Structure formats: structure tokens, C-alpha cells
């Protein structure tokens, strides 16, 4: 029986990261839905009481909506009574004080005046507080921690302990679709002087990226750094240490194995999912052929600014991971009922998305000679129909994601039971 529950709703791609980590390390865990939390799954009303709730990245408002008031209260009661809450990125945002927040931390989330400063990704040199027991005392003071489009803490008092602070960007750091290490020296200064555009990420330096605080008799650990990133040795080692401290044991774990999404072994040859995988691979190939998408590494797509690359990445990953799990009879019955709807939606997305990506490519080609050749409003309407209006999910993508989220949750029960 696991002592760790992972809040799965609205996690999508990010929920897969932490699930992979715990599975690779042999740490028992279970994915739970907001409705289960509201019904008392954390408190032991439906079995053994848990020690730890991990909340992956994703949209904090969506997570709060799925929990409802009863589920949010249940998490607060769980932590106040001695449980540990570990939140990454959107999961960190959910724990903060403010709209859609649980109030587990007295700090709030700080917004961005320059929206491009939100689109930061890659490893950041970070300074650790090695005096705190949640940080391994034999780790270097300065480590590389991965961030993927992080929010920011807005400190309100000194009741929160800072476990790590950002320092300088690492060699794989990007701002939106620009890799900083490829820019000649002085480029950013030239851009500021010529165009008044500031893309420097130096505003991060010294800001908290991982924190901890007490809540009742429980512990709240919040991280805008994704310590569960595959094959990120220093981050992975720290995550294993945090898990060990929270569970009262020592985890002797190596780095989380690299994740090659496209190479995942198929053990469930469901024709609808197999067709969906092929369709997504064709879409990704169209994007890469036309310089709109690219693989930053075998698990993470990169994309030209403004394109729905994150949604494409999430759908493809969920499809591939679902095909890698053998379903039980109950899951097969669920999928038999819902796969026709999924197929219709997937066909609509595949046809619409290919056309949309090519229209975006044409718009980029025609921009300097005929900027109005492709209607900007028309492109926005196409994207809205397919993916909704950022940051709110919507369109066909949202309907597909809900079905895949439900399917993978059901499949995951086979792995943990």
C-alpha cells in the first residue's frame, strides 16, 4: 500500500514526469482524482492514511476547480494533521495564498509585467540552503536545477524557509524560442538599445525557487524547479532526499532514467490509440519539416513562439504512455464506451491542426512582403477552436485531454494495485 498519492487532475504531461520518477525508483504511489480527495482518500476514510501528497505542474485554477471546496478543505486538513504537501510549478501555485490557492503557504504568486519573462526554460544555476535538513548536506552549494515556464513567489513574511534561490542561466536555457547560449555577446544589449526589448532573465537572480514551511503539524514544500525532470542528476538526487525525509526512510536512487517518448514499447495495440499516435507523429513531422516544432530532447518539444507546442507534446505523451500499459477489464469497458468519441475528436484535431500549422508557416513566409496575406484573426480563431485561448485550455484539445487523463488514471491503477 502506497504512502504517496499524486493529485492527477489537470496534470497532463507534468503528472507523467513525477509518475515516471517514482515508478523508476520503485517508490509505491497512487494517482488520485479531486473527487477522491474530497471523499477522504488522504485521511484514511477509504483505507490507509497517506504521508505525502504530490501535486505536479499544470494549471492551478483547473486543479482547484476539480477539487471543489470539499477537496481543497480535505488537503488543508491532511497537511494540518501531519501530512506533507510537495508541489511543483502549478502544484506550488495551488498551495499559495490568493485566488484558487489553498493557503498552505502565506506567500502569494507574483505576476509578470513582461510576459516573455514567463516563458523561461532550461537549467538554472541555483544556490542551495544546505543548512536545512530537506537539503542533502553533502550537495554542492550551487547546483543546476531545471525550470519549465515557472511562476514566481511573492514573499510576504519570514515564516517560509527558502531552500534554493536562482542564480544564473545554464547553457541549455531558453527565453521563449530563443536559446541564449547561441546569441553572440552583446546581442541583448543591442536589442535593448535598438528596439527597447528586454529578454534578459537576470531578474531571476536571488529569487526563491524552492521553499518550505510548516502548516499545523505538517510540512509544505513548494518548488518552481522541476526536480522530477528526467536525467537531471542534481535535481533528481534532491527529490529522492526530500521523498526519503518525508517518508522517514533513505532512498538510494540514481538519476531518473531518460524518457524517449517515441520509443515507448506498445503493449496495448488498441487501434484507436494507435491511429491517434500515428496522427500526432504526422503532425509533429509537419511541424518539424516546416521549422515550427523541434525536439529539444526525446521527451520535450520546442516550438515557435505562439504555437500550441505544449498541448501537442502533452497529447502525444499521454497517448504513448497509455499504449505502454496493459488494461484490465474495467478499463477496456471504459474505453469501449468512450473510444468512438475520442476517434471523432482526434480526427477533427488532426485535420484542423495540420492546416493550422501550415497556415502559420505561410504567414511567417509572407510577413515581410504581404503581412495581411494570411489573416491574423483567422489564425487566432483556428487556434481557439483547436486549443482554446491561453492560458485557459479549451477547444478540441481540452476534450481529448479529459478523456486521456481519465484513461491513464484507470490504467495507472493496474500498475499500483
The pLDDT assigned to 260 comes to 97
Q: Per-domain residue ranges for the chain?
A: 4-247, 261-416
Backbone phi and psi for residue 88, each to the nearest 5 degrees, phi listed first: -110, 130
Buried b (16+ CB within 10 A) or exposed e, 231-257: ebebbbbbbbbbbbbbbeeebebebbe
Hey, what CATH topology would domain 4-247 get?
A: Rossmann fold (3.40.50)
- DSSP secondary structure of 161-218: EEEEEEEEE-TT-EETTEEGGGSPTTHHHHHHHHH-----GGGGTT-EEEEEEEETTE
Angle among Cα 295, 300, 304 to the nearest 5 degrees reads 60
pLDDT tens digit sequence for 248-297 = 998 888 999 999 999 999 999 999 999 999 999 999 999 999 999 999 99
Using alpha carbons, select from 304, 120, 298 the residue that is nearest to residue 224.
120
- Say what the pLDDT of residue 390 is: 82
Provide the pLDDT for residue 96. 98
The mean of the pLDDT values for the chain is 94
Do the beta carbons of residue 52 and residue 246 sit within 8 Å? yes
H helix intervals, 44-111: 60-80, 90-95
Q: What is the pLDDT of residue 368?
A: 79
Q: Are 300 and 372 in contact (CB under 8 A)?
A: no
- DSSP class of residue 223 equals E
Of the candidates 190, 193, 188, the residue with the CA atom closest to the CA atom of residue 116: 188
Which residues in the chain show pLDDT less than 70? 1, 44-49, 416-417
Its sign, for the CA torsion 222, 228, 234, 239, is positive
Amino acid at each position: 500500500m502506497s504512502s504517496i498519492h499524486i493529485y492527477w487532475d489537470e496534470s497532463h504531461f507534468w503528472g507523467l514526469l513525477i509518475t515516471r520518477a517514482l515508478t523508476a525508483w520503485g517508490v509505491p504511489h497512487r494517482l488520485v482524482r479531486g473527487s477522491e480527495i474530497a471523499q477522504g482518500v488522504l485521511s484514511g476514510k477509504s483505507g490507509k492514511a497517506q504521508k505525502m501528497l504530490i501535486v505536479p505542474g499544470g494549471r492551478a485554477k483547473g486543479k482547484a476547480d476539480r477539487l471543489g471546496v470539499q477537496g481543497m478543505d480535505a488537503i488543508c486538513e491532511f497537511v494540518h494533521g501531519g501530512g506533507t504537501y510537495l508541489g511543483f510549478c502549478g502544484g506550488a501555485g495551488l498551495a499559495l495564498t490568493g485566488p484558487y490557492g489553498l493557503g498552505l503557504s502565506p506567500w502569494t504568486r507574483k505576476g509578470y509585467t513582461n510576459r516573455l519573462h514567463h516563458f523561461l526554460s532550461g537549467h538554472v544555476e541555483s544556490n542551495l540552503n544546505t543548512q536545512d535538513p530537506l537539503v542533502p548536506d553533502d550537495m554542492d552549494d550551487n547546483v543546476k536545477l531545471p525550470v519549465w515556464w515557472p511562476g514566481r513567489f511573492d514573499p510576504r513574511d519570514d515564516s517560509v524557509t527558502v531552500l534554493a534561490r536562482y542564480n544564473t542561466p545554464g547553457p541549455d536555457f531558453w527565453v521563449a524560442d530563443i536559446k541564449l547560449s547561441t546569441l553572440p555577446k552583446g546581442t541583448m544589449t543591442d536589442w535593448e538599445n535598438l528596439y527597447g526589448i528586454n529578454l534578459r532573465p537576470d531578474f531571476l537572480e536571488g529569487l526563491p525557487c524552492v521553499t518550505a514551511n510548516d502548516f499545523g503539524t505538517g510540512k509544505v514544500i513548494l518548488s518552481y524547479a522541476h526536480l522530477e525532470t528526467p536525467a537531471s542528476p542534481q535535481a533528481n538526487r534532491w527529490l529522492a532526499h526530500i521523498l526519503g525525509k518525508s517518508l522517514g526512510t533513505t532512498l538510494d536512487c540514481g538519476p531518473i532514467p531518460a524518457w524517449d517518448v517515441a520509443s515507448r514499447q506498445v503493449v496495448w495495440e488498441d487501434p484507436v490509440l494507435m491511429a491517434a499516435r500515428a496522427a500526432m507523429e504526422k503532425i509533429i513531422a509537419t511541424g518539424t519539416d516546416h521549422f515550427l516544432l523541434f525536439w529539444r530532447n526525446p521527451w520535450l518539444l520546442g516550438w515557435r513562439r505562439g504555437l500550441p507546442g505544449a498541448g501537442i507534446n502533452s497529447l502525444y505523451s499521454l497517448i504513448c504512455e497509455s499504449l505502454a500499459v496493459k488494461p484490465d477489464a474495467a478499463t477496456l469497458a471504459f474505453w469501449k464506451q468512450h473510444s468512438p468519441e475520442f476517434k471523432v475528436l482526434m480526427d477533427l484535431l488532426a485535420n484542423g491542426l495540420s492546416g493550422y500549422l501550415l497556415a502559420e508557416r505561410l504567414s511567417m513566409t509572407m510577413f515581410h512582403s504581404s503581412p495581411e496575406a494570411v489573416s491574423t484573426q483567422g489564425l487566432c480563431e483556428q487556434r481557439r477552436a483547436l486549443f482554446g485561448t491561453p492560458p485557459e485550455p479549451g477547444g478540441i484539445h481540452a476534450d481529448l485531454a479529459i478523456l486521456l487523463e481519465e484513461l491513464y488514471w484507470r490504467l495507472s491503477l493496474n500498475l499500483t494495485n
